[in-house]
Structure 1
Amino acid sequence: MDRRYFLQGMGATLATGLVVACGGGESDSSDSDNSNDSSSNNSDAFQADPNLGTAPGVSAKSRVIVVGAGMGGAAVAKYLRLWGDAIDVTLVERLPTYTSNIMSSLVLTGQRTLGSLTYTHDRLRSGYGIRVVYGEVVAIDPVGVSVTLADKTVLKADRIVLAPGIAFDDVPGLSDPDRMPHAWKAGAQTTLLANQFNAMPANGTAILTIPKVPYRCPPGPYERACLLADWMKVHKPQAKLLVLDANADYVAERDNFASAFTGLHAGVIQYIPNAEVSEADPATLTLKTLAGNFKGDVINLIPRQRAGALITSQGLANASGGRFAGVNVLSYASTVAGADKVHIVGDSSATTQPKAGHIANQEAKVCADAISRLLSGLSPDPAPVTNSACYSTITQTQASWLTAVFQYDAATASMQAVAASSGASVGWDSRNFREMDTWFSALMADTFA
């Protein structure tokens, strides 16, 4: 089976969105401000073909180190083994489990548990022969093609793939982040924020902030606001939710979210654009913004985002004002001089695609295909295709969807949305909510199973 047609087939199967979706993509060269269904889901589209063989000419000694075992890293490690069986893959990760950010806002409403979103790397190890090393990478040698762990272990390879996710900007005054948890990385802060909402007075005020684009999504801030508003109607019936958006307007699914904010949830949500947070006072639970000062009983403060610390510490963030890493989207190789054997996938990369788990999975496949070809002495596929699918919870039982197909555009050397292959739901319903589970299960199985 030809990998190119496998990748294109996945995009076509999942496509049904006009997006800047999920916090938006970005220009490969600049950031103007300085950091889920398709109606025809097909789980089989996510299943790898077990008959995919070794790329011709790949040496049994070819080695690839993948750093980070989330949506992008786990997928690239898996598909490197599927599409280049002779490639030795070492996956380096700090934690023994991965907790999905997708669906994590449902933990806030009690509809999901963190346990239901937790995945191990066992199948990657036992089913695909991937060597998994738990440790923290502290240095990268892009010329010698090696990584150094905190315990001084040095691992050498022919290629390195980095998938460290995102890091957060510091918020002036926020000396105690647990007083205003972001819960943007599923885990302890998700539980903390859920407890804070449960303890909030019935007539209290909650605040949710939305950072400037680009930001990682899911979870999505607009959908989280809708979900919480729906929950508050039942559990905190006199409470209000202030949504402070650092952007000038809705940056995802504008029609659906504007309709939900001003119609369905109008009695709960107050939407305030151009409200970038400039300072936080955790002692008084007050935020200072460009639109004024706001005080709440619970504050879900989501800071501005940038590439993972490993990217910036190693001098690989040369795009978006140094906020994200520039890459060649034909292979996801770094555009930093001398670092072309270092590939960067997922949220840390600066591309025109959304920063989303589904896109990380798609980028991983393009990257794995390209590395397998490069190690065979070939060139990457000149016309890769990716797809971004996303559901948004509008209530606790209803969801909307959008999806976009991206294709490589040689003139701009970037991935561009294909309008004819993109779409979005008009409104929301319970069928979309049910199909969201099917989509999620298939995506996670494709990545970790």
Structure 2
Amino acid sequence: MDRRSFLSSAAFGAVGAALTACGGGGSELALGGAESSSLTTSLAAARISTVVKSRVIVIGGGMGGATVAKYLRLWGDGISVTLVERMPTYTSNIMSSMVLTGQRSMSSLTFKYDTLRSKYGITTVFGEVVAIDPVGVKVTLADGTVLAADRIVMAPGISFDDVPGLNGSNKMPHAWQAGPQTTLLASQLAALPSRGVAVLSIPKTPYRCPPGPYERACLIADWLRVNKPGSKLIVLDANPGIVTEVDNFTYAFMGLHGNVIEYHANAEVTSVDPASMTLITTAGTIRGDVINMIPRQRAGALVATAGLNNATEGRFAGVNVLSYASTVSGADKVHIIGDSSATTQPKAGHIANQEAKVCADAISRILSGGAPDPAPVTNSACYSTITMSQASWLTAVFRYNPTALAMVPVAASSAASTGWNSDSFEEMSTWFNALMADSFA
């Protein structure tokens, strides 16, 4: 199967597989099914060239970085790939809210790079990137090592705005990057007294995973109902209202969890006082026993260091979505994918996986003397845990619009569940396993 057909079938196949598998429920299969993914990648892996014709450096080993590294090796003609990552393992943000309720362990969300090395011949370098030369196409590491390549792909994820008054305190963890803060927030919730008050803040858009804060609120509310009778969860939304799955989350907040959740729109946190566990917001002063303070977000710090944060109020990187090359003058050999890029697609793990494939396809074509696919298609889908045993789903397909120079939703191929059920919750694990298997081989 050629790359163009593969990308298109991945988008529409995933949606079709989702609706068929659920019988009206939802799923997110990055390649239109785990079996077809395994077959396609194993056949292609056997044909990977050992002759080096060009070099690509990938910065960041998350969903986008791992996927683009793998598919550059699968689809490229003699492309040597070096993946630079700070940590020797990756911890998935997807499903991490279930650690807060004790339904998932951190170890179940941890993935290694062993198969990317052994099966696909990717070189891994564990270190800190401190500088990027977009013109010279070079990367400098903290230890002084300089790496050179024909192309650089950046997938550094997100960074967070400083919250006035927080000053590095761990009393109000965001837990929006899975890791120590996830464990910390879980322990704080476990210690919440009965009839206690928990607070969750939702930042202004755009942020990582649009449904994420709302589904976390639902999950925590259901857990509080069972484990902390009489407790309350105050949700402070900096946006004018719920930004996604409006019907489902409105019904969940006001109906199902109405005795636990107290929702405030247009409630932006302006400063905090960790000593008194107080938030100063545009809707007044709020105090809580446990505070999940999720700050406003921007591209990974390295994007600003390289001078590539030229979109969305200087928060994210403008890119040409045909190849995800930077739109900064002279930086077109640097490609930015995942949460750091500014596109019309949601910032989410599934989209990072999809952007990575479009980017890998484009770079493979360019390095072989061709041009990027002029009509890429991607798809986005996710589950939202409405209770500890039920989930809703949402899916959308995006197609490149040459007039808008952007990826636009294909209405006929987009859908959402009406309500939630236990079947979707059970299928969530199948979706997660397929997506992570594709990204991390």
Normalised TM-score (structure 1): 0.93
1:290 aligns with 2:279: no
Cα RMSD of the aligned pairs, angstroms, is 1.9
Out of 302, 305, 314, the position equivalent to 1:310 is 302
Runs of 4+ in 1 over 2 A off after TM superposition: 36-61
SS of the counterpart of 1:389? strand
Q: 1:393 to 1:329 in 2, by over 3 A?
A: same
Q: 1:413 to 1:319 in 2, by over 3 A?
A: same
Is the 1:210–1:244 Cα contact (8 Å) retained in structure 2?
yes
Q: 1:44 to 1:447 in 2, by over 3 A?
A: same
What is the rounded CA distance, in whole Å, between the counterparts of 1:312 and 1:219 in structure 2?
A: 26
Out of 19, 22, 26, the position equivalent to 1:37 is 26
SS of the counterpart of 2:119? helix
Is the 2:198–2:234 Cα contact (8 Å) retained in structure 1?
yes
What's the CA shift string for 1:248-273, capped at 9, x where partnerless?
01001000000000000000001000
Out of 407, 431, 437, the position equivalent to 1:445 is 437
What's the CA shift string for 1:360-384, capped at 9, x where partnerless?
0000000000000000000000000
For 2:14, the equivalent position in structure 1 comes to 14
Question: Which letter maps to 1:336?
Answer: V
1:351 aligns with 2:352: no
Is the 2:376–2:399 Cα contact (8 Å) retained in structure 1?
yes
Q: 1:218 to 1:419 in 2, by over 3 A?
A: closer
Return the offset for 1:39: 8.4
1:3 aligns with 2:9: no
Is the 1:176–1:282 Cα contact (8 Å) retained in structure 2?
no
Q: 1:224 to 1:295 in 2, by over 3 A?
A: same
SS of the counterpart of 2:130? strand
SS of the counterpart of 1:140? strand
Is the 1:101–1:219 Cα contact (8 Å) retained in structure 2?
no
Structure 2: 5+ residue stretches without partners: 17-24
What is the rounded CA distance, in whole Å, between the counterparts of 1:113 and 1:169 in structure 2?
A: 28
Return the offset for 1:386: 0.4
1:89 aligns with 2:84: no
SS of the counterpart of 1:77? helix
For 1:253, the equivalent position in structure 2 comes to 245
1:426 aligns with 2:418: yes
Q: How does 1:18-417 map to 2 (within 5 A)?
A: 37-38=26-27, 42-47=33-38, 48-52=40-44, 60-217=52-209, 220-417=212-409
SS of the counterpart of 1:14? helix
Q: Which has the higher contact order (CA 8 A, sep 6+)?
A: 1
Return the offset for 1:53: 8.2
What is the rounded CA distance, in whole Å, between the counterparts of 2:86 and 2:185 in structure 1?
A: 24
What is the rounded CA distance, in whole Å, between the counterparts of 1:314 and 1:381 in structure 2?
A: 27
What is the rounded CA distance, in whole Å, between the counterparts of 2:211 and 2:415 in structure 1?
A: 20
SS of the counterpart of 2:201? strand
What is the rounded CA distance, in whole Å, between the counterparts of 1:318 and 1:439 in structure 2?
A: 34
What is the rounded CA distance, in whole Å, between the counterparts of 1:286 and 1:318 in structure 2?
A: 34
Q: 1:369 to 1:276 in 2, by over 3 A?
A: same
Is the 2:318–2:328 Cα contact (8 Å) retained in structure 1?
yes
Normalised TM-score (structure 2): 0.95
SS of the counterpart of 1:391? strand
What is the rounded CA distance, in whole Å, between the counterparts of 1:420 and 1:286 in structure 2?
A: 46
Question: Which letter maps to 1:12?
Answer: F
SS of the counterpart of 2:124? strand
What is the rounded CA distance, in whole Å, between the counterparts of 2:384 and 2:182 in structure 1?
A: 18
What is the rounded CA distance, in whole Å, between the counterparts of 1:338 and 1:246 in structure 2?
A: 36
Is the 1:46–1:443 Cα contact (8 Å) retained in structure 2?
no
What is the rounded CA distance, in whole Å, between the counterparts of 2:244 and 2:35 in structure 1?
A: 28
What's the CA shift string for 1:25-46, capped at 9, x where partnerless?
xxxxxxxxxxx93389732354
What's the CA shift string for 1:189-227, capped at 9, x where partnerless?
001000000101101000000000000017800000000
SS of the counterpart of 2:398? strand
Question: Which letter maps to 2:124?
Answer: V
SS of the counterpart of 1:390? strand
What is the rounded CA distance, in whole Å, between the counterparts of 1:274 and 1:49 in structure 2?
A: 46
Is the 1:218–1:357 Cα contact (8 Å) retained in structure 2?
no
Q: 1:76 to 1:210 in 2, by over 3 A?
A: same
Return the offset for 1:14: 1.6
Question: Which letter maps to 1:177?
Answer: S
What is the rounded CA distance, in whole Å, between the counterparts of 2:404 and 2:238 in structure 1?
A: 29
Is the 1:166–1:305 Cα contact (8 Å) retained in structure 2?
yes
What is the rounded CA distance, in whole Å, between the counterparts of 2:90 and 2:295 in structure 1?
A: 22
Question: Which letter maps to 1:43?
Answer: A
Is the 2:268–2:283 Cα contact (8 Å) retained in structure 1?
yes
Return the offset for 1:179: 0.5
SS of the counterpart of 1:128? coil
SS of the counterpart of 2:189? helix
Is the 1:320–1:350 Cα contact (8 Å) retained in structure 2?
yes
